[in-house]
Homo-oligomer: A and B are copies of this chain.
Amino acid sequence: MFAWDPDRIYAKYLIETAWPLGQAAEIMAGEQSAGTFVRVAGETDELRARHGARVESIVELDSARVPSLPGAGLPKGHKGEPVYRRAEVWLSWPLDNLGPSLPNLMATVAGNLYELKPFSGLKLLDIKLPEAFLDEYPGPQFGVAGTRRLSGVQRLPLIGTIIKPSVGLTPEQTAERVRQLVEAGIDFIKDDELQADGPHCPFLERLDRVMRVINEHAERTGKKVMYAFNITGDIEKMLRRHDAVVEAGGTCVMVSLNGTGLAAVAYLRRRCVLPIHGHRNGWGMLSRHPLLGMSYIAWQKFWRLAGVDHMHVNGLRNKFCEDDDSVIASARECLTPMFDRPGRGCEVMPVFSSGQWAGQAPETYRRLGSTDLIYACGGGIMAHPGGIAAGVASVRQAWEAALEGQSLEEYARTHVELAQALAKFGS
C-alpha cells in the first residue's frame, strides 16, 4: 500500500475498461484535476506535478468480454475482441486544489468522470479526507450517545416504527396512531419520507397533535418517545419546521438527503439543535448497478461530515434488492470513525428498516457487534397477533435474547410475545 499524506484527498474506485489499466487511471486523474483532453498552454509539468491528481495504486481484478455499461470506447487502433478489465484504483488530490468543501469535493471525486469514454464501469468505493474537513464541518451533533440520552434508551437498540399508511392519514389520525405506539412502549417513531407538509396533513398541525400525545405520555411515564418529524423541503421551511419541533418539545427531525442536497443539510446542521435523521430514499439510483455510481461506504461519509446523526442502512432479509452483506457493511461503517481525532470520528447511528421484526435481531447483533442502532419494524410490530404492545415486546425480547446469547426459540419458551411473533412471522 501507499503512504497517506495528511494534506491529500483520497478516493478509491472500481473501474472497468478496455484501455490498459494504468492509462485508464491516468485519464481519470487528468480529467479530474489539471488535465484536459488535449494538453493546453500553461499546463506545465510543474503545474501537473503540484495540482494533478495522482494514481496511488491499481489492483487488477477480473475481466469481462461484454462491457457493463454502454457508450464506452476502445483505445485508438485497438484490434480484435476487446477485454474489459476491472480494477480497484486509488487516486489522490492535493487539498490545495479545492479546500475542505463538501460540494466541491463531490465535483472532484464524483463529477464528470462517470461519462469518460474509456470506462464501461466506474464506481466510487471510498474516500479518505484530510482533517481540514473536520475543522470546517461540525459532523454529527448527537450521534449515538446524544440519541441515547434524548430517548432514554441505554442498552438495547431504539425499537422503532414508521407511521403507515405513508400518506393519507390526517394529523388527528396520525396522533391517534402515535398514541397507540407510545402506549405500546415504543422508543422511536418516524414520519414516512412521503409525508412532509402536504395540504392533506399539514406539518404544524401534525406536529401539534403528535407532540401533545408524546409530551403527555412523557409527563405521565417519564419516557419521551423520539419522533423523527419529516421537515424535508426548501430551506426556509425546513428551518421553520425545525424551530417548531423544538418549540413543541420534539427531539428529532428527518430529512430526505438526496432530494434536499448536501449544502442544505450542512446549512441546517449549523442551525439545528436536534438529531438529524437522514433518509436515504433515491439511494438506489446511485447504488443499484455494481459498476456505476457510489458505494454506501463513500456516500455516507459526505452526510456524516455534513452533520447527519442517523443514517438509513436497510435491514437484514429486507424487502428490497440489497443483500445482507451489503447492509451489514453499511451499518458497520456508520459506527466506524472516519477520522482519528479523539471524539471526532463522526460516528452515526445506523437505522435498520424494511421487513424487520424480532426474527433478524440475533443475526443483526452478531454481525454488527453492537446495539447502537435504531431498529424500525412495520408489520413486525403492527401486525403482531397480540397487538402493538406485544409487537414491541417481541422485538425487545428478541434483542434481549441476542444479548444473552440465547436462540430466539429458547428465549421464546419463557416469553410469549416472542413466541407469537415466531409463530406468525417466522417461516
Choose from B34, B73, B115, B193 the contact partner of A166 (Cβ within 8 Å).
B34
Whether A99 contacts B197 in the complex (CB less than 8 A), given A43-B164, A71-B321, comes out as yes
Segment from A18-26, A219-227, A229-237 that makes contact with B: A229-237
B-contact bits for A288-316, CB 8 A (1 contact / 0 none): 11101110000000000000000000100
CB–CB A285/B51 < 8 A: no
Distance of A267 Cα from B48 Cα, bound (Å): 36
Distance of A50 Cα from B165 Cα, bound (Å): 12
How close is A9's CB to chain B, nearest CB, in angstroms?
Answer: 11
- Chain B residues near A114 (CB-CB < 8 A): 282-285, 288
B-contact bits for A43-80, CB 8 A (1 contact / 0 none): 10001101110000000000000000111110000000
Residue A151 at the B interface, CB < 8 A? no
Distance of A283 Cα from B115 Cα, bound (Å): 8
- Chain B residues near A197 (CB-CB < 8 A): 98-99, 101, 104
B-contact bits for A249-267, CB 8 A (1 contact / 0 none): 0000000101111111111
- Chain B residues near A234 (CB-CB < 8 A): 101-103, 263, 266-267
Whether A112 contacts B71 in the complex (CB less than 8 A), given A263-B264, A378-B40, comes out as no
Choose from B72, B96, B265, B319 the contact partner of A199 (Cβ within 8 Å).
B96
- The contact size tier of chain A is 35 or more
Segment from A167-175, A339-347, A360-368, A405-413 that makes contact with B: A167-175
How close is A377's CB to chain B, nearest CB, in angstroms?
Answer: 12
How close is A419's CB to chain B, nearest CB, in angstroms?
Answer: 21
- Chain B residues near A41 (CB-CB < 8 A): 382
Distance of A279 Cα from B47 Cα, bound (Å): 25
Distance of A115 Cα from B289 Cα, bound (Å): 11
CB–CB A259/B165 < 8 A: no
- Nearest B residue (CB) for A72: B321
How close is A96's CB to chain B, nearest CB, in angstroms?
Answer: 5
CB–CB B98/A194 < 8 A: yes
- Chain B residues near A314 (CB-CB < 8 A): 115
- Chain B residues near A110 (CB-CB < 8 A): 258-259, 282, 285
- Nearest B residue (CB) for A119: B321
Residue A117 at the B interface, CB < 8 A? yes
Interface residues of A in 175-204 (CB under 8 A from B): 177, 193-194, 196-200
CB–CB B166/A35 < 8 A: yes
Residue A218 at the B interface, CB < 8 A? no
Distance of A327 Cα from B265 Cα, bound (Å): 32
Choose from B112, B164, B194, B322 the contact partner of A40 (Cβ within 8 Å).
B164
20 contacts between A and B (CB under 8 A): A32-B194, A33-B168, A33-B194, A38-B379, A47-B168, A71-B320, A97-B168, A97-B198, A101-B197, A103-B233, A104-B194, A106-B256, A107-B279, A114-B282, A114-B283, A114-B288, A115-B322, A117-B320, A260-B261, A260-B262
- Residue positions of A touching B, CB distance < 8 A: 32-38, 40-43, 47-48, 50-52, 69-73, 94-99, 101-108, 110-117, 164-169, 173, 177, 193-194, 196-200, 232-238, 256, 258-267, 279, 281-286, 288-290, 292-294, 314, 319-323, 355, 378-379, 382-383
If A96-B200, A115-B284, A267-B267 are given as contacts, then 4 extra A-B residue pairs at C-beta distance below 8 Å, sorted by A number, are A43-B164, A71-B320, A104-B233, A238-B263
Nearest 5 CB-CB pairs, A to B? A261-B261, A114-B284, A71-B321, A106-B259, A263-B264
